[in-house]
Amino acid sequence: MARPVTLFTGQWADLPLETLAQKAAAMGYDGLELACWGDHFEVDKALESDGYYQSRRDILEKYGLKCFAVSNHLVGQCVADAMIDERHKAILPPRLWGDGDPEGVRQRCATEIQNTARAAAGLGVKVVNGFTGSPVWHMLYFFPPTSDTMVEAGYREFADRWNPIIDVFDAVGVRFALECHPAEIAYDIYTAERTLKALNGRTGFGFNFDPSHFIHQQFDPVNFIDRFPERIYHVHVKDSKVTLNGVNSILGSHLNFGDHRRGWNFVSPGHGDLDMDSMIRALNRIGYNGPLSVEWEDSGMNREYGAAEALQFVKSNDFAPSGVAFDAAFESKK
């Protein structure tokens, strides 16, 4: 069993899709996880013309690539965030930002995520990865004093905003996979459990497993796989390196990613604290046979060098489970 290894295009959106497809194929990737920004997969254009789907397929087929998932993280972030501000304006197209009225932004982005499900179905893709935003992230530290009632109300608001979105996903046969991440409604095991409960366990909502966001929170990513074996709908391979030295902290100190003074940073796969062997064994235990998608983020490394090296790292560390016990051959044959 060789899982397909794909490249998430989100960090390459400055390149036209065809340019990136040519580069990824030359590196040896099996496919692309198409981001819904840049020109890689444009939801509005997809719904305007059936010819758009074929234009994406033509590029992928030209370079022998497949697409198993599309991703709309940036728009999803704006669906349920408690505060909508200039940070969100920077990641949205003008048609979704509009006049910047927060509730208007949330509603337009919710419709866009519903349309992303429809567009993914039109492309023949069954998984949309993304973010959700969060009505409760700003309450993380529990100061000023934060009651359980306030947090519970935030989870109800999340469910009220996302249940109608997942209704559309269910209707078109596509699943949404949240990338658990600080600033989302779910960022660790307990908040992931609470999120599923808020949605009454509906199966149209699961997770895009990305270990890098758990490493710097200092819990073992394998525990997430073991806790949610039926909800791992897609997998990112991304790494992070914790460099706590008695001066810095895991909170980041308002320093930009890549700054050596931070207590942790994202790094290219194989250069951080990811235990790839344990991750693969856990994915084998749950029977995950989908793609391993490299989300390449490393401010200290050349992008093309890193993506090519990451591909080789993933391929050399992926393996199928054993079909027999290693000591079965010890038994005598009569």
- Alpha carbon 7 to its chain centroid, in Å, reads 12
3-state secondary structure of 115: helix
For β-strands 175-178 and 127-130, DSSP reports them as parallel
DSSP character at residue 332: P
3-state secondary structure of 136: coil
pLDDT of residue 322: 81
pLDDT of residue 39: 96
Q: Could you tell me the two tokens for 300? A: 């200290």
pLDDT of residue 53: 97
- Angle, CA of 86, 89 and 93, to the nearest 5°: 170
pLDDT tens for each residue of 38-63: 999 999 999 999 899 999 999 999 99
pLDDT of residue 334: 55
pLDDT tens for each residue of 183-224: 999 999 999 999 999 999 999 999 999 999 999 999 999 999
- 221 CB burial (10 A radius; 0-12, 13-18, 19+): buried
Task: Please give the single-letter amino acid code of residue 234.
Answer: H
Q: Could you tell me the two tokens for 12? A: 């390459």
CA distance 331 to 334: 9
CA distance 32 to 59: 11
pLDDT tens for each residue of 124-144: 999 999 999 999 999 999 999
Q: Domains of the chain: which residue ranges?
A: 5-330
CA distance 303 to 25: 15
Length of the chain: 334
pLDDT in tens, the chain (334 residues): 589 999 999 999 999 999 999 999 999 999 999 999 999 999 999 999 989 999 999 999 999 999 999 999 999 999 999 999 999 999 999 999 999 999 999 999 999 999 999 999 999 999 999 999 999 999 999 999 999 999 999 999 999 999 999 999 999 999 999 999 999 999 999 999 999 999 999 999 999 999 999 999 999 999 999 999 999 999 999 999 999 999 999 999 999 999 999 999 999 999 999 999 999 999 999 999 999 999 999 999 999 999 999 999 999 999 999 877 666 666 766 5
pLDDT of residue 324: 72
Query: Which CATH architecture best describes the domain 5-330?
Result: Alpha-Beta Barrel (3.20)
The pTM assigned to this predicted structure is 0.96
CA distance 113 to 208: 16
Task: Please give the single-letter amino acid code of residue 200.
Answer: N
Q: What are phi and psi of 61, to 5 degrees?
A: -65, -35
Q: Could you tell me the two tokens for 77? A: 């972030």
- Which residues touch 64 (CB under 8 Å, ≥6 apart)? 25
pLDDT tens for each residue of 12-21: 999 999 999 9
pLDDT of residue 333: 64
Give yes or no for a contact between 296 and 11, defined as CB atoms under 8 angstroms apart.
yes
